[in-house]
Amino acid sequence: MSQNPYQPPFGAFAEKPMPFAPPAPRHSGLGIASFVMSLFCGIVMFALIGVATYLAASMQDEFTDESPQAIMVGLGIIGGLGLAVIGLGLGIAGVVQPNRNKLFAILGLIFNFLVLVSVCGIMALGLAVS
Question: Residue 100 is part of which domain span?
Answer: 29-129
Tell me the pLDDT tens digit for each residue of 11-70. 555 566 667 777 888 989 999 999 999 999 999 999 999 999 898 889 888 878 888 988
In a domain, 68, yes or no: yes
Q: What is residue 60's DSSP assignment?
A: T
Asked whether the beta carbons of 111 and 94 are under 8 A apart, the reply is: no
In a domain, 84, yes or no: yes
Tell me the backbone φ, ψ of residue 30, rounded to 5 degrees.
Answer: -65, -35
Predicted local distance difference test score (pLDDT) of residue 130: 76
In a domain, 120, yes or no: yes
Q: What is the CA radius of gyration of the chain?
A: 27
Which amino acid type is present at position 99? N
In a domain, 81, yes or no: yes
- Count how many domains the chain has: 1
pTM for the model: 0.77
Asked whether the beta carbons of 34 and 94 are under 8 A apart, the reply is: yes
Q: How far apart are the first and last CA of the chain?
A: 98
In a domain, 71, yes or no: yes
